[in-house]
A and B are shown apart, each in its own frame.
Chain A
């Protein structure tokens, strides 16, 4: 098991939630105080450095026009982290390549970060959540097709070393592709892809990339992993799927004691409760297939939207498998329960800061995790484990 400290570099100093329509896309940036924002970056970068000191790896991601994650150019922040850290792996999850106009530029950015970090890059790619569509002015239709073409092109740009090649695809065109620098790692940095649907993860499994899934809970995660394992096997990659191909992201707070854990859990619940987004940004046309939209029009917005509600509580969020919070023993047990339910996973992506969780609290949780939970996970869930075996029975749902 490998653990990653993940921070969305949130800007929590917002007016009362009743006073704005959406925390994403349309929230005016006059609310954003540059001085407070700069101090937050200092703080969040320091927290990543502390995670590294504690032996935890580093993860960040990219969102646009939102207070929930003020990192609209993640490769820039990743480049800064590459220079202030020395040993941690650096995971960007990820580059929203369905919304990026130039895949070759993304290949260049990633190669540069790989150089600046002397080969510590883990390069993740995402289709991008629906709220990114308006922020990126990105056509919401055919994002999966653009994603697939861009990813192939990026990997080819990383691995072609004999002078320019050309690409004339359905969505992207480039005649003289010959990136400098090439990546530090050979043949290229590890590729991660996040999806939250079985159809998506089956494709990722067939390709053999690392599959990450975010806040999909017990049964949702199991469906995603089952599809990954199916895709892996059907592509002839062998019966045994190594658990280091699978990652799960959850909100995590490890307290000194139950009272501390409770207080921290209440604070990171902000991530679930603060995600106020109106339907026109949450469900852009074409993002999901028309048949799925038919359900949305009837008012069935799916598990993930149900779990992301202003009514969510610490208990409901822990019970859904979206949060792991408590004392070290309790958090260990929650990770273990998820691990057994889904057939094992090799990476725990720790959403370790959200909302008003203060610096000292964030650091306390990182240290409690690293010193009192992580050693047990590493000992009991080695990376050599084959995933999908000795699973707990599926829930009745």
Chain B
């Protein structure tokens, strides 16, 4: 299995933004869109996917080492930026996977250029508002203690405990900045773009929702309702995983995702 060093890191300039781009692996390209915690090449799932796919994983503006211009403040802004990234990288048609916030971003992109998305995988995605006005679809993670947030995100809570005292200033600053940019993008409307649900019907690619069975942020009802808005979308659940199944069950995650990406395109698959 290739280790994490298979991923190279470079900086490119898109729309005047210095963007950190991780890229590596063998096989057809896969645009990987990270969630609120940003992208690092270290976790095992990266190597597993890179065995079969050339991963292209940008750090979104304001995450990792990527710049953040003052004009940018929505997930939709980043979706437009990545249309340019696809052009720049010659990705005429590409498979896209997005986790959490990155799932929202992937859905935005797919509504804009449905013909350019090969397959679309959304992992615990946010981005739409389905429930009543007086109940948050996604819990307010900025109004609760950090240990409670960890309990919502992880199946195995011990995996979510970070020891800040062992991190460098630079690492802590990146974590704080990722959190800040997440707030900027998701604060209001909370974790969604009200317009997105009215655009999702345009998505034409085979679409798979992947949800960790213990995900306390993105509920099963939410994912089912989200999937119903995309023609033919299917939902699959990974056991013993929370909001980030790629971290908690990397082998199963890679098996499910690669199985979907490698499988025959299904028009109107089952739920």
Partner-B contacts on A (CB < 8 A) = 25-26, 134, 137, 139-142, 145, 170, 278-281, 284-286, 290-291, 293-294, 297-298
Contact = CB atoms under 8 A, between A and B. Distances in A.
Given A286-B180, A291-B173, 16 more contacts: A134-B143, A137-B187, A141-B180, A141-B181, A142-B70, A279-B146, A280-B143, A281-B143, A285-B142, A285-B176, A286-B179, A286-B184, A290-B174, A290-B177, A293-B176, A297-B175
B15 interface: no
Nearest to A291: B173
B144 interface: yes
A285 B144 contact: no
B145 A298 contact: no
A142 B169 contact: no
B183 interface: yes
B267 interface: no
Contact of B165 (A26, A293, A298): A298
A297 B183 contact: no
Interface in B147-181: 164-165, 169, 172-177, 179-181
Contacts, number: 70
A142 B181 CA distance: 10
A290 B184 contact: no
B169 A285 contact: no
B87 interface: no
B145 A290 contact: no
Contacts of B144: 280
Contact of B146 (A25, A280, A281, A290): A280
Contact of B187 (A140, A145, A279): A140
B99 interface: no
A26 B179 CA distance: 22
A291 B174 CA distance: 9
A337 to B, nearest CB: 36
Interface of B: 70-71, 73, 142-146, 164-165, 169, 172-177, 179-184, 187-188
Contact of B188 (A139, A145, A294): A139
Nearest to A296: B176
B187 A280 contact: no
B69 to A, nearest CB: 11
Contacts of B145: 278-280
Contacts of A278: 145
A26 B174 CA distance: 29
A137 B179 CA distance: 17
B179 to A, nearest CB: 4
Given A134-B142, A280-B142, A297-B164, A139 B184 contact: yes
Contacts of B70: 142, 145, 170
A298 B168 CA distance: 10
A294 B142 contact: no
Nearest to A284: B142
Contacts of A281: 143
B146 A291 contact: no
A285 B185 CA distance: 12
A290 B179 CA distance: 9
Given A139-B184, A140-B187, A285-B180, A290 B173 contact: yes
A281 B143 CA distance: 7
Contacts of B174: 290
Contacts of A145: 70
A285 B179 CA distance: 6
Contacts of B188: 137, 139
B183 A293 contact: no
A327 B104 CA distance: 63
Given A134-B143, A139-B188, A281-B143, A286 B173 contact: no
B268 to A, nearest CB: 40
Contacts of A286: 179-180, 183-184
B164 A285 contact: no
A278 B172 CA distance: 20
Contact of B172 (A25, A140, A293): A293
27 contacts: A25-B143, A137-B187, A137-B188, A139-B183, A139-B184, A139-B187, A140-B180, A140-B183, A140-B187, A141-B184, A142-B184, A170-B70, A278-B145, A280-B145, A284-B142, A286-B179, A286-B180, A286-B184, A290-B177, A291-B169, A293-B172, A293-B176, A294-B169, A294-B172, A294-B176, A297-B176, A298-B165
Considering residues A139, A145, A279, which has the most beta carbons from chain B within 10 angstroms of its beta carbon? A139
Nearest to A294: B172
A121 B116 CA distance: 60
A279 B164 CA distance: 15
A277 B224 CA distance: 37
